Chains A and B, each alone.
Chain A
Amino acid sequence: MSSSVKIKTLTIDERQVGAREDQTILEVARENGIRIPTLCYLKGLSPYGGCRMCIVEIAGSPKLLPSCMTTVEEGMVVSTQTERIKKYRRSLLELYFSERNHVCSVCATNGYCELQSMAQEVEMTHVHFPYMYPHLEVDATHERFVLDHNRCISCTRCVRVCEEVEGAHTLDIKDRGIDVRIITDLDQPWGESETCTQCGKCVHVCPTGALIERGKSVGEMSKRKQLLPYLTKMREAQK
């Protein structure tokens, strides 16, 4: 740490914490063992602020702010677990479940899925919204991996790891809002992609069963969660 970096003091959940001025609320909370739920955030990738699970309340602001995108300020008073936030998080998660076809019982990542465990964390017992049951494709054209749009939550971890870590930028997104879809190359079948290096990083950072290894059956697809932290650490060590 260079001496020019300023230190800020703030309060998170009634605890006084110190932080570098360039840190986000989420980073500081995690350093201090304060759990804020996330789905799109992944250490080692650029923050995206898409999933909104990490929303927090800041005293004096009527808005709920994503803690992964909000940098600390002196004297900030942050609450991460108020009843209001919990209610929003639960409703958000219910919307995720209602927008696609997340049938946990027949998913390759059953038991390993972050969306599934998030339901438990935010105490979601059922979905209040009507399910949309969209008709979505499964791209099984790749020889090693499968992309199942039914189970995608559009967190873009795969897109970011492909560009930022692997440097291939095979994956990207098309369309907006509820119509957003993960695509490979110029929206062509994954198996025909000329840029995919078959590294599999996308599969292992995917929080759900949207990206799996080919041939994995129900409950067989655990993700290698250590992969990205390991790569990040090794790269930092090389610098």
Chain B
Amino acid sequence: MKKKLTLATLWLDGCSGCHMSLVDVDERLIDVAGIYDIVFSPLVDVKEFPEKVDVTLLEGAISTDEDVEMVKRVRKSTKTLIAFGDCAVTANVPSMRNHFKLEDVFKRGYLETTPGNSIIPDEKLPKLLEKAYPVHHFVHVDVFLHGCPPSADNIFYTLVEIAEGRTPELSKRARFG
């Protein structure tokens, strides 16, 4: 039997919809489990990102100082980094705040939409960057798996192709949005 690859999945500034789509692979998850060991994910109880991972599915835009640190660390430990979904590929919905001042974003998020609240939390929370960025703004990305969310078929196809040592051809299969 072929040695299993290790797979990490990560959820940064996104809605988790890409992870939902991963679960939507349905019964083929059994096939995925036959090729990959999931070593880090919101779906498994591991706190530290491993030293070495074969494949990482990275969902979400990069929006905080913690995200930047994390994405650099993930890049260092990962052989094949996949920008997983439109937020990771384009910054997508999180980037819709980008043309507003950070101050106005906080006001909108914490004060205007929460009647009675007068506090903008600034302790023990990751520092929000001026803008939300796509993953490749900070680190090299090996595979761009776009879509909001990427279809289960494209996710399964991508994972199988990589496991087989091929480069997934997603440009014609996947679509933004």
Contact = CB atoms under 8 A, between A and B. Distances in A.
Contact of B146 (A113, A126, A131, A136): A126
A125 B99 contact: no
Interface string A108-136: 00110100110110011111001101111
B171 A120 contact: yes
A105 B177 contact: yes
A136 B96 CA distance: 11
Given A126-B89, A127-B90, A133-B131, A104 B177 contact: yes
A123 B177 contact: no
A178 interface: no
B96 A125 contact: no
A195 B91 CA distance: 39
A135 B95 CA distance: 12
Candidate in B93, B98, B131, B141 with the most chain A CB atoms within 10 angstroms: B98
A11 interface: no
Contacts, number: 69
Nearest to A219: B177
B148 A123 contact: no
B144 interface: yes
Contact of B177 (A110, A130, A133): A110
A103 B95 contact: yes
Contacts of A134: 99
Q: Which range holds the interface residue count of chain A?
A: 20 to 34
B83 A126 contact: yes
Nearest to A130: B137
A234 interface: no
Interface in A18-65: none
A39 to B, nearest CB: 15
Contacts of A126: 83, 89-90, 134, 136, 141, 144, 146
The B contact surface, by secondary structure, is loop
A105 B171 contact: no
A120 B172 contact: yes
B175 interface: yes
A126 B92 CA distance: 12
A104 B147 CA distance: 9
A103 B96 contact: yes
Contact of B176 (A101, A104, A130, A135): A104
Nearest to A120: B175
A135 B148 contact: no
Interface in A87-112: 97, 101, 103-107, 110-111
A106 B93 contact: yes
B166 to A, nearest CB: 16
B176 A116 contact: yes
Nearest to A104: B177
A117 B171 CA distance: 11
A107 B177 contact: yes
Given A119-B176, A125-B89, A105 B144 contact: no
Contacts of A124: 171
Interface in A136-157: 136
Contacts of A107: 177
B146 A103 contact: no
A106 to B, nearest CB: 6
Nearest to B86: A105
Given A105-B176, A117-B175, 19 more contacts: A101-B96, A103-B90, A103-B95, A104-B148, A104-B177, A105-B92, A105-B93, A105-B148, A106-B93, A111-B177, A116-B177, A125-B144, A126-B90, A126-B136, A127-B90, A131-B91, A131-B95, A131-B134, A133-B99
18 contacts: A103-B92, A103-B96, A104-B148, A105-B92, A105-B93, A111-B177, A116-B175, A116-B176, A119-B175, A120-B175, A123-B171, A125-B144, A125-B171, A126-B90, A126-B144, A127-B90, A131-B98, A135-B100
